[in-house]
Amino acid sequence: MRLTLTAVLAGMIASPALAAGDVFFSLKNTDFVVLLAFILFIAVLFYFKVPGLLGGMLDKRADTIKSELEEARALREEAQTLLASYERKQKEVQDQADRIVTAAKEEAKAAAAQAQVDLAKSLERRMAAAEDQITSAEAAAVKEVRDQAVTIAVAAARDVIAKQMTATDGNKLIDDAIAQVGDKLH
């Protein structure tokens, strides 16, 4: 109601019709008619409670915006929580991957060291086997050379004895051999 009275007083004071000296409260005065129409318009707005409706609509819109902001805030907090959770999980996975890589490196080093030990043992066994084969081959070669030497010596002795020995010498050797066998057996 104050707004209506203020508008009427402002309209009367600021009216150019008053300045001209004409009668202001006449329906022939357009300024007065416009002022009446304005006052009527304002009265209709107040009668139908348009300012309350506008205020209600604005309040409803403000409440909607407020709830949307609260929802956005809640979503943001949830997103931050999820982000922190994923970052924590990523750190845990990275730590686990680092542990796996470290363990794999240690296992690889241990396997390499064991392979070197196994290789050294294998080489040792092969060297021992090769030395045994060499020793055996040397012994076989020495035996073969001795056997050949004995065979050659026997053949040479036979040839020498056959050329130098006569039948009487041969009979005499046979008799001596029989006597020696007889002495050794008795």
Long-range contacts of 114-119 (CB under 8 A, 24+ apart): none
Give me the percent of the chain exceeding a pLDDT of 70: 88
The tokens for 60 are 């409803």
Domain layout of the chain by residue ranges: 84-165
Buried b (16+ CB within 10 A) or exposed e, 102-121: eeeeeeeeeeeeeeeeeeee
Count of C-beta atoms within a 10 Å radius of residue 46:
14
**pLDDT at site 2:** 56
SS3 at position 1: coil
Confidence of residue 17 (pLDDT cuts 50, 70, 90): very low
- Sort residue 23 into left (φ over 0), alpha (ψ -120 to 50) or beta: beta
Q: Which of 13-17, 23-27, 39-43 has the highest mean pLDDT?
A: 39-43
Sequence-separated (6 or more) residues with CB below 8 Å from residue 18: 12, 24
Helices then strands, each counted (H, E), the chain: 5, 0
Instruction: Say how far apart CA 136 and CA 140 lie, in whole Å.
Output: 6
Report the 10 Å Cβ neighbour count for 35.
Answer: 20
Q: Which residue has the higher pLDDT, 25 or 56?
A: 56
The mean per-residue pLDDT over the stretch 107-132 comes to 92
- DSSP structure string for 61-73: HHHHHHHHHHHHH
Angle in degrees, 0-180, between the axes of helices 30-47 and 2-13, rounded to the nearest 10: 170
Mean local confidence (pLDDT), 89-104:
95
Average pLDDT, the chain: 85
d(CA 175, CA 8): 181
Q: Are 16 and 32 in contact (CB under 8 A)?
A: no
Distance, in Å, from the CA atom of 168 to the CA atom of 176, rounded to the nearest integer, reads 12
